[in-house]
């Protein structure tokens, strides 16, 4: 279905957001950029936009099959999707199943070690203070979310973790950690933004050959990593 994009509402590092014909909808256009979160550096990667949009659409549909509400409505062009407009929480929810990256450094836990229980953390999306990890009291005190909303996001994140872990395990991939964003609509609290190869850290069961973080250290191998993961996941563009 072809929809005409309206006014450009936001031009971000990895996505553009456009108005849609319906007032309660938006059109997301994914750029061919990869954001390296540790440094803030942006690197152009061929076809990254359609990879991110296709994987996100596939995973959003998967979650909807498990009665998890998302903002996804439909795919458009290979790098575009129509989504429901949300009042987004200024929070990023990070789910850790394994010790990796700065989690390992922060707590002195061996890198790659599976955790006995998933750890869910909230980061305040505020670049002025470097997007710090915060707790429930911070969120309430700073008027970022209510206690009941925080509890719901945690419950949904745990359910999403169970669904995605199983999905990737069937493809011989370990979901080490991933990021989520949530927003509110008249339907309640929904999963928003994207769930893609850039928001999930995946390791090969046989030895980490598809660890996106490892490939990112060698920037030239990013397209190869995307292609390999696409084939493993079974997503078609």
DSSP secondary structure letters along 132-196: -EE-HHHHHHTTS--HHHHHHHHHHHHHHHHHHHHHHHTTTEEEEEEEE-EEEETTEEEE-S--S
* Residues 187-229: tens digit of each pLDDT: 999 999 999 988 998 888 876 545 555 444 445 567 777 778 8
Q: Which tokens belong to 75?
A: 């795919």
- Span 87-218: which CATH code? 3.30.470.20
- List the domain boundaries for the chain: 8-84, 87-218
* Residues 147-173: tens digit of each pLDDT: 999 999 999 999 999 999 999 999 989
Residues 111 and 105 sit within 8 Å (Cβ to Cβ): no
Q: Is 187 helix (H, G, I), strand (E, B) or coil?
A: coil
What residues does 118 pair with on adjacent strands?
Answer: none
Rounded Cα gap, residues 161 and 167, in angstroms:
10
Q: pTM of this prediction?
A: 0.91
The fold of 8-84 is Phosphorylase Kinase; domain 1 (3.30.200)
Average pLDDT over residues 27-55: 83
What pLDDT does residue 96 have?
97
């Amino acid at each position: 279905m072809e929809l005409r994009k309206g006014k450009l509402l936001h031009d971000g590092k990895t996505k553009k957001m456009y108005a849609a014909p319906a007032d309660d909808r938006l059109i997301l256009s994914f750029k061919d950029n990869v954001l390296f979160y540790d440094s803030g550096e942006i690197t152009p990667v061929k076809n990254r936009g359609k990879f991110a949009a296709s994987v996100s659409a596939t995973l959003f549909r998967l979650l909807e099959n498990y009665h998890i509400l998302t903002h996804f409505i439909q795919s458009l062009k290979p790098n575009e999707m129509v989504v429901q407009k949300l009042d987004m929480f200024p929070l990023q929810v990070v789910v850790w199943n394994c010790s990796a990256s700065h989690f390992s450094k922060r707590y002195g836990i061996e890198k790659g070690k599976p955790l006995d229980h998933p750890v869910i953390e909230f980061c305040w999306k505020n670049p002025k203070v470097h997007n710090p990890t915060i707790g429930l009291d911070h969120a309430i005190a700073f008027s970022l979310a209510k206690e009941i909303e925080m509890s719901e996001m945690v419950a949904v994140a745990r359910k999403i973790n169970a669904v995605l872990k199983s999905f990737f395990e069937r493809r011989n991939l370990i979901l080490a950690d991933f990021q989520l964003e949530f927003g509110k609509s008249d339907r309640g609290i929904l999963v928003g933004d994207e769930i893609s190869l850039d928001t999930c850290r995946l390791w090969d069961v046989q030895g980490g050959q598809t660890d996106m973080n490892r490939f990112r250290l060698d920037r030239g191998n990013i397209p190869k990593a995307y292609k390999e993961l696409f084939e493993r996941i079974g997503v078609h563009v």
